[in-house]
């Protein structure tokens, strides 16, 4: 009988946990209505793409996979946060493994070129071996390839 009580308490605890609980500090769930939480943190310091990736990894995350609806959520957060509106942010896209083939560093999944995420002035980025890292910058925060040694802020993502 004691194990039934323990099981009931454990089930209740799982049932009452919120999606906010799955994002460890300093991450915040930016999509609380989603089945899979989107745990992000915006870095206040700036650095190269590789240095921002290392900072994210030290927090058990990676540079963010800002795709689908999350891109719009991030855009709205940035434009509604005055301290962020003038900043560029590294996200987790790269073509350093194969020039012109953009993938998310976190899982290697391919990033489709063109709209709606890429800068309309550069729908098929190919900056040779100089521009291998993905950032989003003012004013519209579309994807844009930049040299990896440029200094931008970063958006880290924790993947529960």
CATH code for the domain in which residue 107 is found: 3.10.100.10
Give the SS3 label for residue 144. strand
What are the tens digits of pLDDT across the range 61-78? Answer: 999 999 999 999 999 999
Q: Domain of residue 26: give its range.
A: 2-158
Q: Based on the structure, what is the number of domains in the chain?
A: 1
Predicted confidence at residue 17, as pLDDT, reads 40
DSSP sequence for 51-90: HHHHHHHHTT-EE----HHHHHHHHHHHHT-TTTTT--EE
What are the tens digits of pLDDT across the range 32-49? Answer: 989 999 999 999 999 999
Q: Above 60 in pLDDT, residue 11?
A: no
Q: Are 89 and 146 in contact (CB under 8 A)?
A: no
Predicted confidence at residue 10, as pLDDT, reads 31
125-129, 140-144, 149-153: segment of lowest average pLDDT: 125-129
Q: Are 27 and 69 in contact (CB under 8 A)?
A: no
Q: How confident is the model at residue 115 (pLDDT cuts 50, 70, 90)?
A: confident
Predicted confidence at residue 158, as pLDDT, reads 98
- Whether this prediction's pTM lies above 0.75 is answered by yes
Predicted confidence at residue 123, as pLDDT, reads 63
Q: Above 70 in pLDDT, residue 5?
A: no
Mean pLDDT, residues 15-30 taken together: 74
What are the tens digits of pLDDT across the range 79-88? Answer: 999 999 999 9
Give me the residue label for tokens 């799982």: 14
Q: Which helix (H) or strand (E) holds 133?
A: strand 133-136
Rg for the chain, CA atoms, rounded: 18
- Does residue 121 or residue 13 have the better pLDDT? 121
The percent of residues above 90 in pLDDT, for the chain, comes to: 76
Predicted confidence at residue 13, as pLDDT, reads 33
């Amino acid at each position: 009988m004691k194990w039934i009580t323990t099981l009931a308490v454990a089930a209740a605890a799982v049932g009452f946990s919120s999606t906010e609980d799955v994002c460890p500090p300093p991450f915040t769930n930016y999509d609380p209505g989603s089945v899979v939480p989107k745990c992000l943190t915006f870095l206040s310091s700036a650095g190269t793409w590789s240095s921002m990736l290392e900072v994210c990894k030290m927090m058990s995350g990676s540079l963010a996979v800002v795709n689908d609806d999350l891109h719009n959520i991030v855009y709205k957060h940035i434009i509604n946060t005055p301290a962020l509106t003038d900043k560029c942010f590294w996200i987790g896209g790269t073509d350093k493994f194969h020039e012109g083939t953009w993938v998310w560093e976190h899982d290697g999944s391919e990033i489709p070129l063109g709209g709606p995420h890429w800068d309309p002035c550069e729908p098929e980025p190919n900056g040779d071996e100089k521009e291998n890292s993905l950032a989003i910058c003012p004013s519209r925060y579309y994807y844009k390839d930049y040299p990896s040694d440029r200094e931008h802020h970063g958006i880290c993502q924790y993947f529960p």
